[in-house]
Amino acid sequence: MSCNKCGAAVTEGSAFCSKCGAPVGTVPAVAVPVQHPPPLAEPEQELWKGRFSGKSQGHWWVLWFLAMPVLVYLWFRVPAELQKKPYALWGFVAGAVLPVLFIMWSFMIEKLSTRYRLTNYRLFKETGILSREINEIELVRADDVSVRQNILHPRPDGAPPRTLRHRESDRGQGDDPHERPPPPAGVAQRGEPVVPAPRNRTLFLSDADRRRPVPPLPPIIAPDRVYCGDAVEGLRLCPPADLIFADPPYDEDPAWHADWIAGCAGILKPGGSIYVCCDWTFSGAIQSHLERHFTVRNRITWRREKGRGAKRNWKQNMEDVWFATKGDDYTFTLVKWKKPVIAPYRENGKPKDWVERNGERYRMTHPSNIWTDLCVPFWSMPENTPHPYQKPEKLVQRVIEASSRPGDLVVDPFLGSGTTAVVAKRLGRRYIGFEIEPDHVRLAQKRLAERP
């Protein structure tokens, strides 16, 4: 057995050569001849000439020669006492020298760029790897950089350069050459639904949930239930309610809302309240329909932070909630809110009309009809569901706390994914909800069963 590097004999079982110290099996070094670039062909000469050979700097030189007499003329027009000032002399020198430095720097940058382009062009002629156009030569992709290095710098063992890898037409197709163990339980495999991330707390329906029947509208509506059925039909069978919270579809004809609002007027107790959500497109129609049956008290506007931008309009970033009552003796529990203090005023060193606790400065104030502290549910919130128009629980909680008492009946004719029912149950109110979409009814049932 002999060393591949120096040829000396090596003892059987030895890992290193006793003469040169090289590991056994080392590939002998191969002298790589110096490769001089071939002479420039006609297309390369066209690249090397033209604007890369300095002609693009020609117009700069012409401008400089034309500007110099003007600069000298202005210098002699300056008063003699001003010429003696240091800044005047330095300004003249800078005006004459800086353009020359700029032209030389530009010429050097273009020369270096041209040499790089010519190297790529020669590589294209020898291998056909690179894509070339007459005015632009660039690498096909980042993988070609290693190919270029292998061609310009051959490997010592004489191995051929690494060939290009071709991207599969469809990733993930074909057999796996290396057998791998199956993934652990809970990890989605190919063809199976993706498991949500650990921080994703959105409530989804499983296949078993979708197979469960939904309760239809019975002849007699019982409290603390959600039903699958039409809102107008459900309101006709519903018992008297103390509070109605309605979030109707926004894409219906404005005249359609007259029917269900009339149904709400038939079940709302004297002294009860109704809140109706809408956007600006049919807010006026909702007001008109409410004024036929109720006394409109206010219009609440809340900011929703998921509006879409528009190029030729203002971004839709708000919604309305109309507040009306049946009579003047209605329930309204005033709950003061925390309002951050922007300019804290002190009197004798003590806060005046505001409180500072745990680094938080605020004052307790009466709630207004502009709500800017709400957030549309998103994926990391436990109240979030796949329902596309879900309202925040905080909004519904604020309404129920203000316009009902514990034990009162809260009705939602457009229940959606069950937000009103969940909040009413948490606050000790009875609830009834109607929803025409079966999967949304199942979501509401699951929220009521699994989440407080």
Q: Which residues of 410-423 are buried (b: 16+ CB within 10 A; e: fewer)?
A: bbbbbbbbbbbbbb
pLDDT of residue 318: 92
DSSP class of 2: B
pLDDT higher than 90, residue 76: no
- State the DSSP code for 412: E
One-letter amino acid for residue 45 of the chain: Q
Report the pLDDT value the prediction gives residue 342, as an integer from 0 to 100: 78
Report the alpha-carbon distance of residue 276 to residue 321 in Å, rounded: 5
Least confident of 189-198, 241-250, 366-375: 189-198
Distance, first Cα to last Cα, the chain: 79
Is the overall model pTM greater than 0.85, yes or no? Answer: no
111-125, 126-140, 155-169, 286-300 — which one is most confidently predicted on average? 286-300
CATH superfamily of 207-305+317-331+369-450: Vaccinia Virus protein VP39 (3.40.50.150)
Closest CA to 387 of 424, 426, 420: 420
| Contact present, 445 and 276 (Cβ < 8 Å) | no
Q: Residue 132: helix, strand or coil by DSSP? A: strand
- Under the banding of pLDDT at 50, 70 and 90, the label for residue 57 is low
Domain ranges of the chain: 1-29, 42-152, 207-305+317-331+369-450
Give the model's pLDDT for residue 181: 58
pLDDT in tens, 245-281: 999 999 888 889 999 999 999 999 999 999 999 999 9
- HSE-up of residue 148 (Cα within 13 Å, Cβ side): 20
CA distance 244 to 434: 12
Residue 289 exposure: Cα atoms within 13 Å on the Cβ side: 23
Strand order in the sheet with 337-340: 337-340, 360-365, 355-357
Q: Which residue has the higher pLDDT, 124 or 172?
A: 124
| Residue 166, pLDDT score | 38
Average of per-residue pLDDT across 10-24: 63
| Contact assessment for residue 414 and residue 441, using Cβ atoms and an 8 Å cutoff | no
pLDDT band at 188 (very low <50, low <70, confident <90, very high): very low
Q: Where is 232: in which H helix or E strand?
A: helix 231-237
Mean pLDDT in the chain? 76
Residue 220 pLDDT > 90, yes or no?
Answer: yes
Contacts of 330 (CB under 8 A, 6+ apart): 271, 272, 273, 403
Q: How many CA atoms does the CB half-sphere of 19 hold within 13 Å?
A: 11
Give pLDDT tens digits for 277-307.
999 999 999 999 999 999 999 999 999 877 6
pLDDT in tens, 368-392: 999 998 989 988 888 999 998 999 9
CB 407 within 8 A of CB 427: no
d(CA 68, CA 60): 12
Q: What is the pLDDT of residues 402-437, one digit of tens each?
A: 999 999 999 999 999 999 999 999 999 999 999 999
Mean pLDDT of 79-90: 68
Least confident of 130-139, 192-201, 342-351: 130-139
**pLDDT for 241 beyond 80:** yes
Q: Which residues pair with 409 in a beta bridge?
A: 430
Q: How confident is the model at residue 197 (pLDDT cuts 50, 70, 90)?
A: low
Structure tokens, 200: 């994703």
| pLDDT of 351 | 78
CA 151 to chain centre: 43
Amino acid in position 50: G
